[in-house]
Structure 1
């Protein structure tokens, strides 16, 4: 069972708590996703890397809470929840976000840097750079149109979406999150000063071309690396997990381990 933090807003889930991790990795899910998205990744990275899987309001055990309708509000609250996990005597904390979660993680990184608590690393997955704009309006489609989008991206099995009861559980969060990400606009001069960035993308991702992803390089003054997964689409994580685990682990090994916390 996941261990919850004592933070008032209960954002953080630790599915595989570790008494002595070398690093911690806060993970942010895609639109419509939840903390459970990273359960398998958490198991694969433990115990050296302890995953802090971020639970957005309005889903799973937070389903009675109102949704957050914009990316900056998500980042504000997530940042506050992560404060107790950052500091000189804490383990190095890196951030990982997929799709919408990549943008949320980037905004959290900006807030951490503004407070002088620099993320150890930022992994942005399946998402074009914040300054790369598309006029997308999936949020305005009817339910069938929203389902078509989900099936096209491959994030949910079609048989699940064929069940009307399950559709009504899933679609409100998806529509809310599409609204948040489609109305997000990158702040002028939004550049990380000290946080290195690794961008990951499936070569056939319809939501992020290789050029759009490469533009993340302009959002950090530190090191930038881009990893392309050939033969994969938006949810490349599902079938390239081994490679992602290897990439994350190798990137974190280049970071110094802090004193125990």
Structure 2
């Protein structure tokens, strides 16, 4: 079987086609650090039901990309994802990224601009702004500290953390993403043309409303901020609402 599908995209990109003809363009979804594409199946399905084709990215070192080398930097990861298909054929694009995925999506948008691929909007969920990343402490790399971080953030079934095989695979993915994120830096004057829409959880103890507002400096277009009930993984409880926001743009 070919590594690419009939549309010319790598098969590890999970596609959720809109029911009937898409009337809301295409949305590309970027998972959080350590997250696999499967974790965004509900969002992909909700986006398709809302009328937009959804493409959920799979990062290296997990799932069907388990044997793919980890990119050294966030920019390398964004380039790896951008080179996985002919995004110009689907443009203008809408991008959605959760936590670290928002920064990956931002770098994907910057690359798209340089390559002449139109991006209408970037949805950044539960994420600190790119220019603030370098100033925060490095993400942990030791097993115990990573697992404590995962428990603190929520979003992972605690029962899975009792499964040694699951933990081994999870740590591989998280370490790859954390290492790239720890090398990331971005100036406060770096901005994209696309509108930026920030989303967050009102009780998220890791990413506050004020932190989300810093994203406004990274767009030359419009900026909006929407808050939902819930914590860092609020989106799991508001999948339909988030999908509606994106598709109604």
Question: Relative to 1, partners in 2 of residues 1:222 and 1:8: Cα closer, same or farther, differing over 3 Å?
Answer: closer
How far residue 178 of structure 1 moved from its aligned partner, in angstroms, is 1.4
Unmatched segments (≥5 aa) in structure 1: 252-261
SS in 1 for 2:136: coil
Deviations 1:193-248 (A, max 9, x none): 2x111000112223312111101111111111011113x11101111223212221
Unmatched segments (≥5 aa) in structure 2: none
How far residue 4 of structure 1 moved from its aligned partner, in angstroms, is 5.8
How far residue 188 of structure 1 moved from its aligned partner, in angstroms, is 6.0
Find the aligned partners of 1:209 and 1:145 in 2 and give their Cα distance: 22
Counterpart mapping for 1:8-157 below 5 A: 10-16=11-17, 20-22=21-23, 23-47=25-49, 48-82=51-85, 84-87=86-89, 90=90, 92-133=92-133, 134-140=135-141, 142-157=142-157
Q: Is the 8 A contact 2:197 2:224 kept in 1?
A: yes
What TM-score, normalized to structure 1?
Answer: 0.85
| Counterpart residue number, 1:238 | 236
Instruction: State yes or no: 1:224 paired with 2:226.
Output: no
How far residue 8 of structure 1 moved from its aligned partner, in angstroms, is 7.5
Find the aligned partners of 1:32 and 1:122 in 2 and give their Cα distance: 21
Q: Is the 8 A contact 2:75 2:107 kept in 1?
A: yes
Find the aligned partners of 2:118 and 2:12 in 1 and give their Cα distance: 20
Find the aligned partners of 2:95 and 2:227 in 1 and give their Cα distance: 19
Q: Is the 8 A contact 1:4 1:13 kept in 2?
A: no
How far residue 163 of structure 1 moved from its aligned partner, in angstroms, is 1.5
Find the aligned partners of 1:238 and 1:101 in 2 and give their Cα distance: 15
Find the aligned partners of 2:109 and 2:91 in 1 and give their Cα distance: 16
Find the aligned partners of 1:44 and 1:86 in 2 and give their Cα distance: 24
